[in-house]
């Protein structure tokens, strides 16, 4: 069973989709384009979570345990999908208070 990333992300999460569109341009300025593939919209998000050290260690462990493995996540203004994370960055803000920044990218399964 696929796990779900359930931590609450900051409202400043940024990201969006890249549409997979095939384009052909002709010499007279004419262009034809069409959606390509079954999964036309692929998303990437830069997110940050914050909290005490222990809570963020659990989140970091989730990301490390899912290296190369998809997990479910629901982006802001989006629907739940499969995502992966290849990099993360913890920052100590004050004492035991940390932020953890991550980059999630959408993947697709057959």
What share of the chain in percent tops pLDDT 90?
Answer: 77
pTM: 0.85
Phi, psi for residue 75 in degrees, rounded to 5: -75, 160
Structural domain spans, the chain = 14-107
| 44, 75, 92 from 58: Cα distances, Å | 23, 20, 15
pLDDT at residue 29, rounded to an integer: 86
* pLDDT tens-place string over residues 45-98: 999 999 999 999 999 999 999 999 999 999 988 899 999 999 999 999 988 899
Strand pairing report for 81-94 and 41-52: unpaired
């Amino acid at each position: 069973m696929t796990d779900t990333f359930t931590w609450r992300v900051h409202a400043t999460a940024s990201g969006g989709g890249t549409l997979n569109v095939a384009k052909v341009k002709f010499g007279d300025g004419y262009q034809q384009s069409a959606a390509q593939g079954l999964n036309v919209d692929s998303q990437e998000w830069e997110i940050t979570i914050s909290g005490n050290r222990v809570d963020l260690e659990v989140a970091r462990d989730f990301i490390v345990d899912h290296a190369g493995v998809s997990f479910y996540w629901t982006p802001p203004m989006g629907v739940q999908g499969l995502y992966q994370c290849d990099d993360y960055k913890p920052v100590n803000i004050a004492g035991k208070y940390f932020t953890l920044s991550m980059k999630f990218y959408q993947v697709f399964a057959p």
